[in-house]
Structure 1
Amino acid sequence: MNWDTDIFHKEDVDVELLEESTDLRNLVVYNDDVNTFDHVIETLIKVCKHTAEQAEQCTLLIHYKGKCTVKVGSYEELVGMCTALHDKDLSADIE
């Protein structure tokens, strides 16, 4: 076993993991005066795979705070969800 090689390999893996974790984005849904609570809840359950409780909590935050991060992930993971939220007439963006 070559200790030097193992140490360098571990450092390379740690750097790769750090780079991946820092590339996380937020999928944010914004409040509007159009959509009902039920519509937003149902959409978050369907599009973001939220539980009913998660969707209800996010919907309340959207209503009272003006926005809520509904999902965290890479841009590639979130872009389809963002488009699906737009298709359901929700205001959303990836930040």
Structure 2
Amino acid sequence: MNTKPLIAPDEEVLVLEESTDLRDLVVYNDDVNTFDHVIKTLIDVCGHEPMQAEQCTLLIHYKGQCTVKVGSYEELEPMCTAIHDRGISADVV
């Protein structure tokens, strides 16, 4: 059986790399919104499971902020706007 390499040693290979500039969607603590409101927002807007939303909300409360989602700016910006629309402070950083 004659086996031949798929690529000859002197053949150039073009490698495609997808570079994605990942960002964080950060939600900040305030003295206005209730735990339930923030939890519901994270479930509705970010697609969190209830336990994940509750844990993020506790981190927001005790640490002052929490990264609730990681993704591209294009993915996170509409989520950030939806969180703002619910009266919660957030940024894409």
Q: TM-score range by the shorter chain?
A: 0.7 to 0.9
Query: Which among 70, 73, 76 is matched to residue 74 of structure 2?
Result: 76
Task: Percent identity, please.
Answer: 67
**Residue of structure 2 equivalent to 1:44:** 42
Count of aligned pairs between the two proteins: 86
- TM (norm. structure 1) is 0.85
Residue 47 of structure 1 deviates from its aligned partner by 0.2
User: Which amino acid is 2:52 matched to?
Assistant: Q
- Of residues 58, 61, 68, the one that matches 1:60 is 58
Whole-angstrom distance in 2 between the partners of 1:33 and 1:42: 17
Cα distance in 1, alignment partners of residues 87 and 69 from structure 2: 18
Q: Which runs of 5+ in 2 are unaligned?
A: 1-5
Across the aligned residues of Structure 1 and Structure 2, the Cα RMSD in angstroms comes to 1.1
Q: Give distance in 2, aligned partners of 1:60 and 1:2.
A: 54
Q: Write the deviation string for residues 9-31 of structure 1: whole angstroms up to 9, x where unpaired.
A: 2xx22xx23x22xx100000000
Structure 1 gaps, min length 5: none
Alpha-carbon distance in 2 for matches of 1:56, 1:40: 8
Aligned to 2:88: 90
Residues 44-66 of structure 1: CA distance to partner in whole angstroms, max 9, x if unpaired?
00000000000000000000000
